Structure 1
Amino acid sequence: MNKIKVGIVGGAGYTGGELLRILINHPHADIVFVNSNSNAGNPVYSVHTDLFGETELQFTDKLSRHIDVLFLCVGHGAARKFLEANDIDESIHIIDLSQDYRLKAKAGDFVYGLPELQRDRIKKAKHIANPGCFATAIQLALLPLAAQGLLHSEIHINATTGSTGAGQSLSPTSHFSWRNNNLSIYKAFEHQHLHEIGESLLQLQPTFDQPINFVPQRGAFTRGILASAYIESALSLEEAYDLYNTYYKGHPFTHVSPPNIDLKQVVNTNKALIHLEKHGNKLMIISMIDNLLKGASGQAVQNMNLLFGLDETAGLRLKATGF
């Protein structure tokens, strides 16, 4: 088959860099352009220095119409402005990694791109709104329960993300001297990803009406998300594992692990790992992903694979850090 011709807008940031790392080695993709107004004319490896020797691509401030799919790796709010300002050919698929089109009220013809929730809709979509990183980890922890109508109590969630979750632009909380050996809570109970989580749970369990109590944390590491959630549940641990294994059967990146899990098992991969524990009447679900891969660029390529009828795992068999 002919290779998929790819354009990337916002190629100088973290998600753009991760997308490049995947796509330059993807067996069915050909990168036509990498747009970055501030870096136009410079080689891609001048920003993503680990790509020296891997590619001779240069950043450009131009766009090409001769592509099959356009990835938008720009900041929140900037994707909508970009599409309003540029005439994108109707034949081009768009995969947006910002939050601009994730919620139903603002989605238009964008389909929410969580394969474990609606893979068949993604395959038929024109445009994809890639999920948020916290949202991905937390939804994967809860979808099997919602699918069986088993969310009957408040949900309590604590999740910690690495510094790359804040993006490449410096802020007081992303400087090494502040972040290193430090831990803090932010946007407690009001993180923006709560809205997309709520919509997905209601899609599977329309009667769900309980609070989702989410406390996000900034971790002193670069990448990965560890999310732990607990709810009241009458399920035994064996029943819970059967439920989760059944739900994720056939989904190649989400795995349910009886042994406890750790972040290094998923960092640098597109995998999500789930671990379950039962404590009295509480079911605890631990979910881990790499925020830049399954939580962003890896999932975006997974969605591209589905859009173009490829093996879902194409280009995404990536090695975990391990140690």
Structure 2
Amino acid sequence: MSKLKTAVIGAAGYTGGELLRLLMHHPEVEITCIHSNSQKGKKLEEVHPDLIGEKDLVFTDQILCKNLNAVFLCLPHGETKSFVNQHSFHEDTVIIDLSTDYRDESEGFIYGLPEVKKTEIRSAKRIANPGCFATAIQLALLPSIAKGWVNHTIHVTGITGSTGAGKKLAETSHFSYRNNNISVYKLFNHQHLKEIKQTFGQVDEKFQNEILFVPYRGNFPRGIWITAYFPYLGELSKAIEAYKTFYEEHPFTIVSEGDIDLKQIVNTNKCLIHLKKEADQLVIYSAIDNLLKGASGQAVQNFNLAFGLDETIGLKLKSIGF
């Protein structure tokens, strides 16, 4: 079988660069276009120096829409819809959007969280990749939502690496601000809450509980750590069994009975989950790499599913360890 001709739009940013690193070693992919308006004419290694010697690719602002099997959209939030409307992609071209623009499942897009929508993704041509915090929070809580255990306000804290803010500089992403520093932003009002509540409502149509989410900016480059808790009177062993059963057919979401840490998931497409019970609260920890399971890795996972491939192809990655 010939390789799948693939374009990455917005390939100069963090998620675009991460996609290129994954796709150029994917056995079923031929990268035919790396797109960037700001970096057009530059060689791959001029924008992503770590990829020197990997591929002879040049950034372009032109897209040949014909004969593409897949398109990954890594454009800024709010710019994707206009881009899609300006380009005539074939109806059989699989489009995977990493922005927020289609996460409400509008215009034929399916929300691409494999742990909930694997069947739909396998037949989809338009896939909206979930947000990074949204992925980590949903995977932490979905089995509990499905069981109907959540009848009170859910308290969630989460800390993310600086790459979650994107490549474009802002005051809070400078090294001098981030280093030896932690700060809160978008208290109780993070944009990912909308897609989280959408999924929870699809899993349990009676779900209407408040989610009080405190997001932190971390002083490290990549990774997300989530702590979520709510009142729970059942046995911890029952909860662990329910979580393992819920995720038994999902190779990247792993329930650990031992303590977990962030380094176990950095540079992988895994989500690690650990449960505790304290003070009649079920406490769930989840950890992902915000650029992989929280963005580009999950996008490749969705690509694999949409083309009938083993969903782990190109994603058998090892954590940094040290």
User: Is the TM-score greater than 0.5?
Assistant: yes
Deviations 1:140-166 (A, max 9, x none): 001111112221111000000000000
Letter in 1 for 2:18: E
Q: Who is 1:136 aligned against?
A: 135
In 2, the alpha carbon distance for the partners of 1:84 and 1:118 equals: 26
In 1, the alpha carbon distance for the partners of 2:26 and 2:136 equals: 25
Q: Who is 2:53 aligned against?
A: 53
Q: Who is 2:40 aligned against?
A: 40
- Number of corresponding residues: 321
Q: Tell me if the contact between 1:13 and 1:167 (Cα under 8 Å) persists in the aligned partners.
A: yes
Q: Tell me if the contact between 1:74 and 1:98 (Cα under 8 Å) persists in the aligned partners.
A: yes
The offset of 1:38, in angstroms, is 1.7
The offset of 1:2, in angstroms, is 2.0
In 2, the alpha carbon distance for the partners of 1:245 and 1:88 equals: 40
What are structure 1's unaligned runs of at least 5 residues?
A: none
Letter in 2 for 1:40: K
In 1, the alpha carbon distance for the partners of 2:15 and 2:175 equals: 20
Q: Who is 1:278 aligned against?
A: 277
In 2, the alpha carbon distance for the partners of 1:32 and 1:137 equals: 32
Deviations 1:30-78 (A, max 9, x none): 1010011221121111010000011111111111222101000010011
In 2, the alpha carbon distance for the partners of 1:84 and 1:23 equals: 25
Deviations 1:195-226 (A, max 9, x none): 00001111111111211000000000000000
Query: What does 1:88-107 correspond to in 2, within 5 Å?
Result: 88-104=89-105, 107=106
The offset of 1:177, in angstroms, is 0.5
Q: Secondary structure at the match of 1:173?
A: helix
In 2, the alpha carbon distance for the partners of 1:99 and 1:169 equals: 17
In 1, the alpha carbon distance for the partners of 2:315 and 2:299 equals: 11
Query: What does 1:182-261 correspond to in 2, within 5 Å?
Result: 182-261=181-260
The offset of 1:28, in angstroms, is 0.7
In 2, the alpha carbon distance for the partners of 1:294 and 1:91 equals: 25
In 2, the alpha carbon distance for the partners of 1:90 and 1:152 equals: 43
The offset of 1:298, in angstroms, is 0.2
Relative to the length of structure 1, the TM-score reads 0.98
The alignment-based identity, stated in percent, is 55
Deviations 1:150-190 (A, max 9, x none): 21111000000000000000000000011100000000100
The answer to which of 277-286 and 56-65 deviates more is 56-65
Stretches of 4+ aligned residues off by more than 3 angstroms:
none
In 1, the alpha carbon distance for the partners of 2:274 and 2:189 equals: 26
Letter in 2 for 1:306: L
Deviations 1:249-304 (A, max 9, x none): 01000000011100000000000000000003100000000000000000000000
Letter in 2 for 1:159: G
Q: Who is 2:171 aligned against?
A: 172
Instruction: Answer yes or no: is 1:153 the counterpart of 2:181.
Output: no
Query: What does 1:107-122 correspond to in 2, within 5 Å?
Result: 107-122=106-121
Q: Tell me if the contact between 1:114 and 1:130 (Cα under 8 Å) persists in the aligned partners.
A: yes
Deviations 1:297-317 (A, max 9, x none): 000000000000000000000
Q: Secondary structure at the match of 1:311?
A: coil
The offset of 1:98, in angstroms, is 0.1
The offset of 1:235, in angstroms, is 2.1
Relative to the length of structure 2, the TM-score reads 0.98
Q: Secondary structure at the match of 1:137?
A: helix
In 2, the alpha carbon distance for the partners of 1:38 and 1:44 equals: 13
Q: Secondary structure at the match of 1:200?
A: helix
Q: Tell me if the contact between 1:149 and 1:204 (Cα under 8 Å) persists in the aligned partners.
A: no
Q: Tell me if the contact between 1:255 and 1:271 (Cα under 8 Å) persists in the aligned partners.
A: yes
Q: Who is 1:77 aligned against?
A: 78
In 2, the alpha carbon distance for the partners of 1:155 and 1:2 equals: 48
Q: Secondary structure at the match of 1:39?
A: coil
In 2, the alpha carbon distance for the partners of 1:2 and 1:149 equals: 46
